[in-house]
A and B are shown apart, each in its own frame.
Chain A
Amino acid sequence: MIRARVVHAVLQCAPMDGPAPPRALAAADLAALLSVTRALAAPFDLRAMLGEVVSAAKQVLHADRGSVWLHDAATDELVLEVATGIAPVRVPSGRGLVGACAHQRAIINVPDCYADARFDSRVDRESGYRTRCMLTLPLVDHRDELVGVMQVLNKADGVFDDYDETLASALAAQCAVALQRARMTDAIIEGEKMRQALEMARVVQMSTLPTVMPSVPGYDIHGTFIPAELTGGDAFDLAFVGERLLVVLADATGHGIAPALSVTQMQAMLRMAFRLGADLDTVFRQVNNRLSETLAADRFITAFVGVLDPTTHRLAFHSGGQGPILVYRAATGSWERHRPTSFPMGAMAVDTVRPAMTLALEPGDIVLLASDGIPEYENGDGEQFGDERVCATVASHGGEPAAAIIDALLAAVRSFAGSAPQDDDMTAVVVRREGTSAATAGDEGRIIRRTFERTFDALAQMVDFTAESFDRLAIDPRHRPTADLVIEELFTNMVKYGTGSAMPVELGFEPSLDGVRIVLVDRDVDPFDIRRSREVDIHAPIDERVPGGLGLHLIRRMASSIDYDYDPERRESRIAVLLAGKQ
């Protein structure tokens, strides 16, 4: 194959119907060309290949010296990677003999260099060599791309002639292909090295994650890390420091090896500092300051660093840029959002830090930490999963084990994202205090709330949640079928007509003296007062009866009272239906 191409190249350079070549190809020269070609077919790396090409050119053209300039397409410069006795140098395309050759993609044969204005004699001055004559050839590969420029200097017995140009052209075509092949091989090897380095960084990153979740009396704690295909810099840690538990979730900026390693470094610093007995404020400040010394100026790590005391049920924390910190309060069924306490770690050194924040955890409360790979996961339409969906998903699995809560969250993200790829690491940590807020049963004004996705599929979950809430709040079960009806009718209405809203629907129960108040909150919707909806003529003949409007009609008949509020600023409808007395 290669042999045939050489001959073809030679023939092309010496066409039969054009001007006759000055002399026929000497058998010795053809043999030299072919042996060079065979040599070039060997799997050299780029540097070796350049040396091989130069020595081939010298041999075939009887030249004293040779050099190959590689074309850097990114900068459109020619780079002298290797040359016999000449230091590397870069020349813009178009300048000098090399640049002109690259630009014109044509052979330039200069018999007397010092008589040619394009010749740059600086190289000679620096090297002490005297260039007499020079042949400059473009190296163009089989896809017609400029690979570089080859120069041969000082023919042994005179100047380069037409015959040499023909030989050189044949050689150049082979050199170009061989060089391009070596270049691509190098790029692949480089890519493979990078991939292996990334993989190694990943192994280091993963190895620092807890393999077994800590067993903390009265708590259910779980962390999960789902790496992105390339890299991110997420990590979490759950480790005992004496009787207390260190809770960390961190996300180093950027992609590549650096964030994976810097987050690992931070994690090691934290564990060591706490084990040496340092307090939270000191640890946070010291680790921040050490990181700011070691991280590059444009790098930082967002990190939640907390210490849970399982006897006092207090979670003290600093959060450098990691947030929001979401806290589910079981007693009210509501969410608290805490902002980061300071800027990301490693961004700059500080002398003092604000005192740590403290959360008091009640039975059933959940602290959720999630790296931004979760709320910022985009679906095919470029829409992000968002904090609201994070809260809604976690709240609707609030009573489940921490691992199940995280599984449900990640499943919800995947179902939202569809086939959209995961661009960033996803990490979540759930700290759930065991027990339910039923410990406070008997208190006035207790409300249980949960949010549900705006789909008909959520109905079954609402029925389960209603049963659970009736149990927990000790509501008379005779209200159950009517409660189910009220919820189904109102919720299906919301799903059918609130199509412009992506917000979940909140359902809440509040026990009343002899019944229950059911509250549904519909967000980002137009007002719709069910008290003013169309009346149904229940005495109409069957031909005139239609199912529409029947649900709201039934609610009006069966409810003890209905309240409706609309907040135009938040575009929020709140419907409260009281079921009381004998149902």
Chain B
Amino acid sequence: MLTIETGPDGVIVVAGRLDAAQAQAAQTFLDGVAGTATLDCAKLEYISSAGLGVLLKTQKRLLGSGGKLRLAGLSPHLRDIFVYSGFDQLFEIDPAA
């Protein structure tokens, strides 16, 4: 299961599993995001390449219009995945949630 929604402080909170089955739902939500946004990943348990693809597409779009997606609250496992995939170089990653 995956939930993704914008919190009261404007931070996008993603929770659950961002896998192949949920990628489309996440993409649909993120397609509606504009400018610079922060994605709180503290409750994101899992991400696969399908989820990374969603983040990549969103980042390309936002960078093209002068905005960007920032990531926060990555678990050690997620941080490994970002490093191994080189995504740590494509996103600004906040050290704390």
Contacts and interface: CB of A to CB of B under 8 A. Distances in A.
Interface in A378-429: none
A539 B54 CA distance: 19
B90 A542 contact: yes
Interface in B29-57: 45-46, 48-50, 52-53, 56-57
Given A488-B19, A538-B86, A481 B46 contact: yes
A200 B59 CA distance: 71
Contacts of A536: 85-86
Contacts of B19: 459, 484, 488
Given A481-B77, A482-B77, A542-B60, A551 B86 contact: no
Contacts of A460: 21
A492 B59 CA distance: 24
Contacts of A538: 84-86, 89
Interface in B1-28: 17, 19-21
A542 B59 CA distance: 9
B90 A545 contact: yes
Contacts of B57: 547
Q: Which label, helix, strand, loop or mixed, suits the secondary structure of the B interface?
A: helix
Q: For the side of the interface on B, what is the size category?
A: 20 to 34
A572 to B, nearest CB: 24
B60 A543 contact: yes
Interface stretch (A5-13, A38-46, A301-309, A552-560): A552-560
Interface of B: 17, 19-21, 45-46, 48-50, 52-53, 56-57, 59-60, 63, 77, 80-81, 84-86, 89-90
7 contacts: A456-B20, A536-B86, A542-B56, A546-B56, A547-B50, A547-B52, A550-B85
Interface of A: 456, 459-460, 463, 481-482, 484-485, 488-489, 492, 536-540, 542-543, 545-547, 550-551, 553-554, 557-558, 583
Given A551-B49, A554-B84, A558-B84, 17 more contacts: A459-B19, A481-B46, A481-B77, A482-B77, A485-B81, A488-B48, A488-B50, A489-B48, A489-B49, A538-B84, A547-B56, A550-B52, A550-B85, A551-B48, A553-B84, A557-B84, A558-B80
